[in-house]
Structure 1
Amino acid sequence: MPEIYVLDSSALIAYFNGEPGGTKVRELLRQATDDQIHLYLHQVQLGEVYYIFWEREGKAKAELVLSDVRGYPITLKDRISFELFKEVGRLKATYRLSYADAFAVGLARSQKAKLISCDRHELAPLETQGEIEMFWVR
């Protein structure tokens, strides 16, 4: 059974900006293309990526990134079950995460997946507490 991973917005941003860690994301995308792993992304995270690129580089770049992501071997999750809603609230209240990061962690927990991220400052405490298994790209 292929390993399951959930992408955090920081990992996608690193990939699209050619930042450190972007090559690890590229390799994970290649593995997903070859069905070696499964990649998931919640649309809340995709919305964060979209608005960040719009703010920094304009609408055209944001639309290009959105189009690219939708063409990648990533399963987009758009539903918010009652259980996920509660888990996101618990994570946000307990760890003072951003709302988008709480969605990424909640989705990873619900999928029993590793979370792919660059956000050590925000997410390392959750790994230390045993809440989530992380795959750090930098």
Structure 2
Amino acid sequence: MTPLMKSVTFDSHAIMKFAQDEAGADRVEELLRAAEEGRVRACVNEINLGEVYYITMRRLGTESARRFLEQFSTLAVERVAASWEIIESAAELKARHALSYADCFVAATALRRQASVVTGDPEFKKVEHLVQIEWI
């Protein structure tokens, strides 16, 4: 990785937009392509991937959710485990800001990785002063 390589952390909102080919999906696809080509470092916290999994399971069933995760795992997106450092950072964000706990994991991961959060979720306006947001 070069020092100037862009780093992004995907929020579940962005992943769902991509999966459902909704507004913003094109930008997510561009970032995924750039990650595949080694021009962008992309990651997702496993908490947020779990969020996508349960939403997909509710809407489309367990098999569809499993297929999506299998397909997503082939992409050049690093899965970030919820280490104690990230849990602690997410808890601090939750204590200070009106964000969902899952959203706090995206923000905490981005802060730890010096990455932008890729999202279209307006809840992130509450932490724009703390973490860079790439709006889709």
TM-score by structure 2 length?
A: 0.94
- Displacement of 1:103 after TM fit? 0.3
Q: Given residue 126 of structure 1, which amino acid in structure 2 is its aligned partner?
A: V
Residue 33 (structure 2) pairs with residue 34 (structure 1)? no
Q: Given residue 43 of structure 1, which amino acid in structure 2 is its aligned partner?
A: E
Q: Given residue 57 of structure 1, which amino acid in structure 2 is its aligned partner?
A: L
Moved over 3 A (4+): none
Unaligned runs of 5+ in 2: none
Equivalent residue for 1:134? Answer: 133
Task: Please tell me the root mean square deviation across aligned C-alpha atoms, in Å.
Answer: 0.9
Distance in 2 between the 1:25 and 1:72 partners?
12
Equivalent runs, 1:15-34 vs 2, <5 Å: 15-34=18-37
Q: Percent identity?
A: 29
Equivalent runs, 1:47-126 vs 2, <5 Å: 47-81=50-84, 83-120=85-122, 122-126=123-127
Write the deviation string for residues 16-64 of structure 1: whole angstroms up to 9, x where unpaired: 0011001110010000011000001110000000000000111111011
Distance in 2 between the 1:53 and 1:26 partners?
19
- Displacement of 1:79 after TM fit? 3.9
- Report SS of the residue matched to 2:23: coil
8 Å CA contact 2:117–2:131 kept in 1: the answer is yes
- Displacement of 1:5 after TM fit? 0.5
Unaligned runs of 5+ in 1: none
Distance in 2 between the 1:14 and 1:106 partners?
22
Number of equivalenced pairs: 133
TM-score by structure 1 length?
A: 0.93
